[in-house]
Every structure is written in structure tokens, then in C-alpha cells.
Amino acid sequence: MESSAAGNEITILIAEDEAMVRMVEAETLRDAGYTVREARDGLAALEILKSDARVDLLITDIKMPSMNGYQLVEAGAQLRPGLKVILITGYAQDPLPPTMALAKIKVVYKPFDIDVLPALAKQVLAA
């Protein structure tokens, strides 16, 4: 699903297997003026990344079936070098794999105030 605010040039891809969480994240970002693409899991997000669709920022949950967020980020980086990423996890013990430790990846721990998501996106996009 894609939605756009008039005249916006920034597109965010959200990969989240929990529909309600994905919907709230997407609406919060749309309300802030971002164009949002939604993927129900890592494989669906990977298909979007393989396409010629614009994606400026990937926001992904780490724990997803079929393809987790780490796998998605690694595959996405191969397809789109320099892809900016926000990883979301509910597990504080989830360390970044060594292959990602040097990348500019923002990790956000659940629960977090959903209203900070647009500011986090802006921060990562500006980095």
C-alpha cells in the first residue's frame, strides 16, 4: 500500500508483520508528510527494494517470519548501497550483527512513543 502527501519527495518503506503496528507507524509518518510504502514481511519488502520504486528509508522490525530484519537490511544494502535504516526491536539483547555494526543504522527499542517516529526518520535521513 502506498500513500503520499502532496509534493513530498521522501519515501519510507515499512516492513512489519503485525498489521496494526504497521498501520499505526504508516499513518504517523503519512501525517508528518512522508510517502509510505508498506510490506507485510521481509520478503514483500525485498520485492519492493528489487523494483525501481523509490525508497529513501527502510524501517523494519527485526523479528519477522520468513526473513528477519537483519536479513532484509543485508539484502537491501546489496541492492541499494547507502540505504538508510531504522531497525525496531522489542528485545534489548538484540545486538547488531558485525556486518551492520559500522553502518549508520538506528536501532529503536519497543515500546517507544510513536509520535517520535517522524523525528527519528528525519534524523536518520539527514545523517
Q: Which of 123, 111, 120, 114 has the alpha carbon at shortest distance from 28?
A: 114
Per DSSP, what are the bridge partners of residue 2?
37
Contact 59, 86 (CB under 8 A): yes
Measured CA to CA, the distance from residue 29 to residue 73 in angstroms comes to: 20
Tell me the CA distances in angstroms from 29 to 82, 86, 100, 106, one per residue in order: 21, 13, 25, 17
Share of the chain above pLDDT 70, in %: 83
- Domain chopping of the chain, boundaries: 2-126
Measured CA to CA, the distance from residue 110 to residue 91 in angstroms comes to: 8
The CATH architecture annotation of domain 2-126 reads 3-Layer(aba) Sandwich (3.40)
pTM: 0.87
Contact 11, 56 (CB under 8 A): yes
Span 55-74, pLDDT tens digits: 999 999 999 988 999 899 98
Is residue 101 over pLDDT 70?
Answer: no
- Identify the sign of the CA torsion 45, 39, 68, 54: positive
